[in-house]
Structure 1
Amino acid sequence: MPATLLPDTITSIGLLAGCLSFVSAVSGQLTRAAVMIGVSIACDIADGFVARSAHSASQFGVEYDSLSDVVAFGAAPAILAYAWALAPLQLWASLVVGAFVICAALRLARFNIQTETPGGRKHFVGLPVPGAAAMIAGGFLGGSYFRFDSPRALSAAITALMLTLAALMVSRVPYPSIKEIDPASLKSRSAIALTVIAIGLFVALPQLTALLAATGYLLSGPLWLAFGKDIKRAR
């Protein structure tokens, strides 16, 4: 069996989940659409983890992963946002959704170039597209948790969020690279404890935890940009 078969299969599952997400959004099943984006994010993390663990990373895998991400983290969350909050804006909604998808594609193209640059993957330059997708899915789940129900305010808030995410994706703001986590480091007791706590929170309060996790990662880039030099000096 080719060494790249397993990570590429995981990528395919993530792509399928992305397709199921926008089909669910079009059908009005928005919670399922948000959950499928979460499945795609899990697959995106897992395929890279498996490829590094098995030393089976390939250029084909990088390109296939990016094509999958355009669907799962570009089109799927954009359609979710449209069905959830932007549809009343009509033409303006199309422009907002289009800006998000275009910036996601530009972000992925830049990432592919950076993977060929020495040291280009120590951190992400710009908000990763899975992070942007997580913010939209987490925002929907959090909104349903708090039972937020004000259509006009919701449309305005999601418009601002979508444009902010689009700008961050093509920005130079640094973000932590989850893909660079050493698999061996996950065997430590602290890593295992944090994993157990995270799983427990997702089981107990999945909607709220998804919102807080997505918001935390979204803010990590600007915070790193603001305080990164001081952190390095302290170290």
Structure 2
Amino acid sequence: MHDGADPVHDVEDVPVRPRRKGIYILPNLFTLAALFGGFYAVVMAMNGQFEQASYGIFIAAVLDSLDGRVARMTNTQSAFGEQMDSLSDMVSFGAAPALIMYEWALKGLGKLGWIAAFVYCSGAALRLARFNTNIAVVDKRFFQGLPSPAAAALIIGFIWVMDDAGFKGASKIDWLAWSAFALTLYSGLTMVTNIPFYSFKDVSFKRTVPFIVIVAIALGIAVINIHPPIVLFALFLVYGASGYAVYAYKRMKGRPVSVIATSTEEPDEKGLHH
């Protein structure tokens, strides 16, 4: 007995549920670990353990430099990963360093202290937002402004050096509190400038290098181990000032100082769209 229903058409009329998109686990594990480093650093600072807080931020910076490379090497890039990376950076290199610096020294300055911490935190947010929107038109060889991990390393490195030197209760030591104030403002404002900072993105780990390069790397590791806080902070200081040196050099030579390309046709912008 036929009731007029067509079983074939009935099956075809059932809406097919769209397949859910998965999330690549490997690069996001690095990102989550970096996020944990920032969170751990804040918790340690709240407990007065500023050396441990420094370790948390530095580990987060190392992991942050790896997640993108891992994604590219394993071909697991995704829009989700990009957003997750930005949010992790805001916590680990924006909010966390500002809160740690405030807890360590700036709270002794009253309103000026938390204003400096907020300038740094908002500078990191603005820099990350600008980076995400300008990524297609920026010269890949340079960052536009001081990158947030480097800014975080600069102020956390200062805390690490001073804490290692035995300066406790920095918020009650005037010269130290004001030094922290100046460095926090410098780092926060330099993130939102147009000063070019070398990105090291044109360094390829797949290319062969002369033997002397490996020797130099080994010597570098040995030098760092002489006294990690001072050596690393010195490197962060050099990098934190390098952008202004590049800017001044380009101005003196009459070269373009902007890392933003507005056209692929202008000869001055050759190489910006690789």
Cα distance in structure 2, aligned partners of 1:147 and 1:223: 33
* Aligned counterpart for 2:121 among listed residues 101, 111, 119: 101
Aligned to 2:221: 199
Name segments (4+ residues, structure 1) moved above 3 Å. Answer: 144-150, 185-191, 228-232
Question: Alpha-carbon deviation of 1:174?
Answer: 0.4
Secondary structure (helix, strand or coil) at the match of 2:140 reads: coil
The CA deviation string for residues 80-133 of structure 1, in whole angstroms up to 9 with x for no partner, is 211221111122211111111011000000111122x14543310000000100
**RMSD of aligned Cα (Å):** 2.3
Question: Alpha-carbon deviation of 1:191?
Answer: 4.1
The CA deviation string for residues 51-89 of structure 1, in whole angstroms up to 9 with x for no partner, is 232233333222211100111001111122112211111
More helix by share: 1
Q: Is the 8 A contact 2:138 2:144 kept in 1?
A: no
Unmatched 5+ stretches in structure 2:
1-21, 256-274
Do the aligned partners of residues 15 and 221 (structure 1) sit closer, same or farther apart at CA in structure 2, a change above 3 Å counting?
A: same
Which has the larger displacement, 80-89 or 29-38? 80-89
Q: Is the 8 A contact 1:78 1:97 kept in 2?
A: yes
Normalised TM-score (structure 1): 0.88
- Counterpart of 2:99, as a letter, is I
Question: Alpha-carbon deviation of 1:25?
Answer: 0.5
In the comparison of the two structures, how many residue pairs are matched? 230
Normalised TM-score (structure 2): 0.77
Question: Alpha-carbon deviation of 1:3?
Answer: 8.8
Unmatched 5+ stretches in structure 1:
none
2:176 corresponds to 1:154:
yes
Q: Is the 8 A contact 1:3 1:54 kept in 2?
A: no
Aligned to 1:128: 147
Do the aligned partners of residues 198 and 228 (structure 1) sit closer, same or farther apart at CA in structure 2, a change above 3 Å counting?
A: farther
The CA deviation string for residues 4-27 of structure 1, in whole angstroms up to 9 with x for no partner, is 421111111000010000010011
Question: Alpha-carbon deviation of 1:197?
Answer: 2.6
* Aligned counterpart for 1:69 among listed residues 60, 83, 89: 89
Aligned to 1:34: 54
Q: Is the 8 A contact 1:173 1:225 kept in 2?
A: yes
* Aligned counterpart for 1:82 among listed residues 90, 102, 119: 102
Do the aligned partners of residues 182 and 163 (structure 1) sit closer, same or farther apart at CA in structure 2, a change above 3 Å counting?
A: same
Larger Rg: 2
Aligned to 2:25: 5
**Percent of residue pairs identical:** 32
